[in-house]
Amino acid sequence: MQTLSPVNLPAEERLFIDNLIASRLGRPGALLGILESVQERNPHKYLPLETLRYIATKTELPLSRIYSVATFYALFNLQPQGENTICICRGTACHTRGSRNLLEGVRLELGLGLENEESSDNEGDKLLLTTPDRQFTVRTVACFGQCAMAPVVEVNHRICGHATERTVQREIETIRAGE
């Protein structure tokens, strides 16, 4: 058994995770299901390092394995997320059909600056930005697998195919209006 530093999670959170592990451990895909449920329960929809440590201790899996699963799958977040998410595909089909312009338009609309203002020199790098008021998180993914509908944008887990800058602006306006 591994030795990890003590984990300081609230008792209610530990109990939730303990019950979740007890109900899923030993089943195929158990770790994925555990991480997904824990992230969904988090008010900011992410997996804090302390939570990953606790899961590692309770499942008797190395923290490195838990972390590698959490970083491999795009659905997991290691940073707090906004109330609303806008995910822009940067795959080849979407890129050639204008996803970079969509990304720049969203960043401007939400006051997140332009891509060339970032320290990253590689436009293929994953991007994750959250507005200061935590209302929106903008991120990129390598591919949604919806290439025939390129460019593709996902807004609050709903796929928008053949997206234009105006389509995305309307989605943001709708969210801001509370509809």
User: What's the pLDDT at 4?
Assistant: 52
Evaluate the CA torsion angle 164, 160, 78, 93 in order and state its sign. Answer: negative
- Residue 89 near residue 143, CB atoms below 8 Å: yes
Averaged over 27-56, what is the pLDDT? 95
**Is 79 within a domain?**
no
Residues 29, 68, single domain; the answer is yes
Residue 31: is its pLDDT beyond 60?
yes
The answer to whether residues 53 and 78 touch, using CB atoms and an 8 Å cutoff, is no
In terms of domains, do 35 and 59 share one?
Answer: yes
Domain count, the chain: 2
Classify residue 115: in a domain, yes or no.
yes
- Please check whether residue 77 is in contact with residue 36, taking contact to mean a CB–CB distance below 8 angstroms: no
In degrees, to the nearest 5, what angle opens at C-alpha 84 toward C-alphas 125 and 88? 30
Domain region containing 165: 84-176
pTM over 0.75? The answer is no
| CATH of residue 149 | 3.40.30.10
| pLDDT for the residue numbered 122 | 43
Q: For residue 18, is it within any domain?
A: yes
> Which residue among 52, 72, 92 closes a domain?
72
The answer to whether the CB of 129 falls within 8 A of the CB of 112 is: yes
Q: Residue 173: enclosing H or E segment and its boundaries?
A: helix 165-176
More confident residue, 122 or 23: 23
Please give the average per-residue pLDDT across 78-97, as a whole number.
Answer: 94
Q: What is the DSSP letter of 117?
A: G
* 68 and 143 belong to one structural domain: no
Instruction: Tell me, yes or no, whether 88 lies in a domain.
Output: yes
